[in-house]
Amino acid sequence: MEGIIPLWKEKGMTSHDCVYKLRKILKTKKVGHSGTLDPDVEGVLPIAIGKATKVLEYMVNTGKTYEGEVTLGYSTTTEDRSGEIVDRQAVNPQLSLEAIDKAITSLTGEITQTPPMYSAVKVNGKRLYEYARAGEVIERPSRQVTIHSYERTSDVVIDEDQKTLSFKFKVSCSKGTYIRTLAVDTGALLGYPAHMSDLTRTESGGYQSAQAVTLRQVQEAVDENRLSAILNPLESALTFFPSHRLSEEEWSRVKNGTVFMKSELPVFSEFPIIFYKDSKAVAIYSEHPTKLDRIKPIKVLRTEV
């Protein structure tokens, strides 16, 4: 069994829960996910099975798209609605759409984020959430992320009882982006404590929500002997990278792990390169670390096609 299932992770489940359940449904241990989704978040979670687990790291590196909601008026320990309230400030209901959109626009492009305390980032060998659960707040390393697009997708909603203001958004971003932190930073630019009050991941690893299937649908596909209908080839996760179709002579060399001179191949400006034999991805090559005129195999996917 080999391929990728764009799973629709439901709220209340961890990404590990999904992997565990799929191992039981598919009766195979070689199952992995392409990037954690918080339990409160639903959305697309590409799952690799069999040999397709070899390309997981490349799926993780692709951009992602989310739709969600920012609420101004209070912040929480976890930066989403599941945490305890730590700061509250009544929002002026006359806050203009122009001011909101200006704040959003200023957070596009390459920005610096500080991961939330309730996150899986490791500092000194421990996850940040472990420090947070122990009541410790430590210095966190900032990171550069890219916000390709960030836009408000609704009018604002005023909650007169809670003195809050909410609006929906859509964001396309690089790997490593914390949408919770983006919501908090949006509020800070507007002068208010804020949190992410809702989130759905609509695209990941090149797979969109329309392609995703639930755990129940996977079980039904297995029961009805039509798993192939929802199992995507591992090649579908590699379409973002430059590729080269191998000749018979090149293919025999790739099977032996041969290092190639760059001059033997078309000129490539980006790496890694995916080598194909017929329609199958067989190896991933990248620049040699010391011999700049050569490329070497960094992952062999298949030795037979």
List, for residues 163-190, the tens digit of each pLDDT value.
999 999 999 999 889 999 999 999 999 9
Per-residue pLDDT of 206-230, as tens digits, reads: 899 999 999 999 999 999 999 999 9
Residue 119 pLDDT exceeds 80: no
What CATH superfamily classification does 3-61+205-237 receive? Answer: Pseudouridine synthase (3.30.2350.10)
pLDDT at 276 over 90: yes
pLDDT, average across residues 29-54: 92
> With contact defined as beta carbons under 8 Å apart, do 187 and 75 qualify?
yes
Let me know if domain 243-300 sits in CATH 2.30.130: yes
Residue range 98-107, pLDDT digits in tens: 999 999 999 9
Q: How confident is the model at residue 295 (pLDDT cuts 50, 70, 90)?
A: very high
**Domain residue spans in the chain?**
3-61+205-237, 64-203, 243-300
pLDDT on residue 180: 93
Q: State the average pLDDT for the chain.
A: 92
Would 3-61+205-237 and 243-300 be classified into the same CATH topology? no
Q: What is the rounded average pLDDT of the residues 4-20?
A: 95
Active-site residue numbers? 38
Angle (CA) 63-145-154 rounded to 5° is: 70
Beta strands, E only, the chain: 3-9, 31-33, 42-49, 64-72, 74-76, 85-88, 109-113, 122-123, 126-127, 143-152, 157-159, 164-173, 194-204, 207-208, 243-245, 260-261, 273-277, 280-287, 294-300
